[in-house]
Structures are given as C-alpha cells and as structure tokens.
Amino acid sequence: MQSYDFDLFVIGAGSGGVRAARMAAQRGARVAVAEAGALGGTCVNVGCIPKKLYSYAAGYAESFEEAAGFGWKLHQPTFDWPALKAARAQEIARLNGIYGRLLQEAGTRLIEGRAQVCGPHEVQVGEQRWSARTILIATGGQPQVPDLPGREWIKTSDAMFDLDPFPRRLVVVGGGYIACEFASIFNGLGAQVTQLQRGAALLRGFDRDVQSFIAAEMGKAGVALHLRSQVSAIARRHDGSLELTLADGSAIAADAVLYATGRVPNTTGLGLENVGVRQAANGAIEVDTHYRSSVPSIYAIGDVSSRLQLTPVALGEAMALVDHLFGDGHRRMDYDYVPTAVFTHPNIGTVGLTEDAARERYGQVTVFRSDFRALRHTLSGRDERTLVKLVVDTASDRVVGLHVVGADAGEIVQGFAVALRAGATKALFDSTVGIHPTLAEELVTLRTPIAAAA
C-alpha cells in the first residue's frame, strides 16, 4: 500500500476547511491545512462577522433616534469611524487566534503559504512538496469586479471595513445580499448612500413580497435606490471625488464606489489544470454528491464548489465529507429548507420556498401575509413596518415557505426552520400558542389566506 505524508491535505483555512480538518483529525486522520491568509476565511475576516458587527453599529443610530419616544433625553451622539474599525480589528484578531488553537488542539499541521496541486496526491507550498491520500479544496470565493473604464476606483466588500476616510457619499452597485447589507450599514452610520441595481428588483431569488418590501423600507430609511441602472464608466475628478456615468447618460458623484455584483470561486492559481479537475464556466469545481471532483482523490466544499454560498452550508458539507471519508458514511447535507438571513435594516429571514417556487412545485398553494407597525414603533416615532408571510401547500397543509422582514428576523426564522424541516402543517402552526406581544407570534396567528392558486 502506498504511503503518504497525510491522510487529508486541506487547501484553505476558512469555515469549511477548518471544520473538515478538525473533524478528520479527531477521527485519527493525519491532517495538514495550508492557508496563505488570515485564518477563518471570508466569513471571519471580511464577511459575516465584521459585517454583522458593523450592522450592530448602524443600528445604534436608529436606537438613538427612537429613544426620545420612550422618554430618554440624549445629547446629539457622534460617530467615531476609526474607533469602530479598531474594535473590529481587535475582535477579528481574537477569532483568528481561536481558529489557530482549534487546529492545533485537534492535532492538525498548519502550513502557511499558497498551495498548488501538483498531482492527484501531491501539493506544493513554497518549495516544499507534500503527498496526501486525499486533497480537499476549500478556498472559498472572491468578489468579482467588472471590466469597465475606471475600474481601478472600485472598492469590493473586502475593503469596506477599513475605508479611509469614511465616505460622505457612497454608491453601492448591486442588488444581492452584500450590496443591500452594506447599503443599509453605511446609511445607518451616516453616509449618503445611493444603490444602483441593473435588474428590476433587489435580492434576486427571494420572495417577490420580500423584494418589494425591503426596497420600500430601505428607501424610507434614506437609501436612494435606482433600479434598472447600469454604470458605464467611473472617473476621478479634480477634487478627488468620483463621478459615475450611467448608461442613460446621467451622472452621480461619490466619495467611494462599492461593487457587489457577484462572487467567483477562488480557483485561479491552484494548479487544477495540472491534474484535469473539471470546472464550470465560472471556475467552480464540479463535484458529485460526496463532493468528489473528476479526479477521485480530490474533493471540494464550500463556495469554491457549492450551489449555496453560505457559511453554515460549508460547515455541513465539511461534516458530511469527513463522515464519508473517515466515518460510516451515513451523514448527508440536506439542501432543502436551508434558512438564511440578510442583515439589512430591517433584517430579512427566510426559509423554504418563495411563493412562485411553491406554485411551480405544488400547483395549488395558500398564502398568508401580514405587514404591520411593530409595537416598538408606536412610541419610537419611526414608520418602519414588518412583513410576515407563510406559503402553504394546499393539498398537504404543509408550510413550505416562511418569510420575515423585521427586527431580529434571522433569530426568529432559525427556530421556525426546525419546524419546516420537520414537516409542520399550517394546522400545527394554528394550534401553537404565541408569545405575546412579539413579532414572532404573528406567524402562529395568521388565519385568513390572501391568495390561493386555482
């Protein structure tokens, strides 16, 4: 039997890679992890964690505004952008250290540097070559920047946490998770935000009611949203500001421009062409149900291959893969009813099918929907509204889609995701006692359908 340096060599120490490495090592495998950057990948360093911290920061502006309605007399608060950046950097450094300790305590070997696949069982990092029975690619994705005049002035999401100085006027191009979240964040922190989206709606793939509702709420909060708008060029003006020329000939002035128009898999420079790993047109590694590539000894998980670019999905894939390679092989990653949240202001939480997708799959569906002013805002003075929506398969009475736009929507939907995965029916929702007064109780007190397919 051929001898290898490692049983598993993981390229990439993001969420999926670290989880796979730890779980495999705990099962007795000899594991190495190669990483050229900070431990934790996109999520920890320039994604989920810092973005949520900045979302909290933006939320304080709303809270200060609301406080007067509840009897608080406050002096005009001021925002210290450098202080927020420093606090965030300190927290991310702490998390980087935790990831390093987790790998060390599990018994994995961490190799610093950029790795390249040299053969079906060989990886090179710097001048050193290593052999492994199995190679796992978990290198994630990176922002995609379009090729247009002035692209050198574009910022991607990776750079937004350390902008210097704070942009007085920010243009956000894009309509997905990242674009909407950063538009909300910087609007809350005090920037004048303009969001440009080439399509007819924000958040492609989300329920249509959610799309229109969040667009209205973000607009009320101060984000200037322009749909069906495209940038044709960006230029630096004499005063140092930027000017965006749109396809219709109009212009917008800005101090910074964020492009959040999609991400691409991090596969460039990995040497996959050396061994014939099959890739999709966008560079994603094509894998089977066990995450095996076209080369039997090479696997891929997370954003570098997955159809769902979410950190918890990468973690689930990692655990399923380790069970396949070093366990009994029973564990599977189920991609149905994966909940997700968008940390706009207000938040979005969703699980299951959109109304359109449910009609396509089941034919006849019943829809329950309500939008209302939350109790908090009866005194706060703000006109923010909340949306809750249930989509029910009429034949089985099963709730197949649940959508919330409102305060702490992600926290609420996480619990309901368990119910949907368990096959909860609308009758079961109706028989559940609500907690009063809460936003979440609306989901178990909806009684009158608003639409039903013929």
Query: The CATH number of the domain where 170 resides is what?
Result: 3.50.50.60
Query: The CATH number of the domain where 350 resides is what?
Result: 3.30.390.30
Question: pLDDT (tens digit, 9 = 90+) per residue, 10-56?
Answer: 999 999 999 999 999 999 999 999 999 999 999 999 999 999 999 99
304 part of a folded domain: yes
Are 120 and 181 contained in the same domain? no
Q: Please state the φ and ψ torsions of residue 200, each to the nearest 5 degrees.
A: -90, -5
1 part of a folded domain: no
Q: Find the domain containing 241 and state its range.
A: 151-261
Output the pLDDT for position 1. Answer: 61
User: Where on the phi/psi map is residue 287: left (φ > 0), alpha (ψ -120 to 50), or beta?
Assistant: beta
SS3 label, residue 11: strand
User: Where on the phi/psi map is residue 306: left (φ > 0), alpha (ψ -120 to 50), or beta?
Assistant: beta
Are 353 and 365 contained in the same domain? yes
Are 306 and 411 contained in the same domain? no
Output the pLDDT for position 166. Answer: 98
Q: Distance between CA 11 and CA 34 in Å, rounded?
A: 5
Question: pLDDT (tens digit, 9 = 90+) per residue, 299-310?
Answer: 999 999 988 999
Are 41 and 78 contained in the same domain? yes
Are 244 and 186 contained in the same domain? yes
Output the pLDDT for position 453. Answer: 45
Q: Distance between CA 149 and CA 243 in Å, rounded?
A: 12
Token representation of residue 250:
């109009």
- pTM, 2 dp: 0.96
Q: E strand or H helix at 265, and its extent?
A: strand 263-265
Smallest Cα–Cα separation from 9: which of 177, 128, 94, 146? 128
Token representation of residue 453:
């397919």
Residue with tokens 């992890």: 33
Token representation of residue 270:
């990995």
Cβ distance 440 to 390 under 8 Å?
no
Are 255 and 269 contained in the same domain? no
Smallest Cα–Cα separation from 187: which of 222, 154, 212, 215? 222
Are 256 and 285 contained in the same domain? no
Residue with tokens 């894009």: 174
Residues of the chain with pLDDT under 50: 453-454
Output the pLDDT for position 306. Answer: 82
Positions marked active-site? 436
Are 366 and 446 contained in the same domain? yes
Are 240 and 278 contained in the same domain? no
415 part of a folded domain: yes
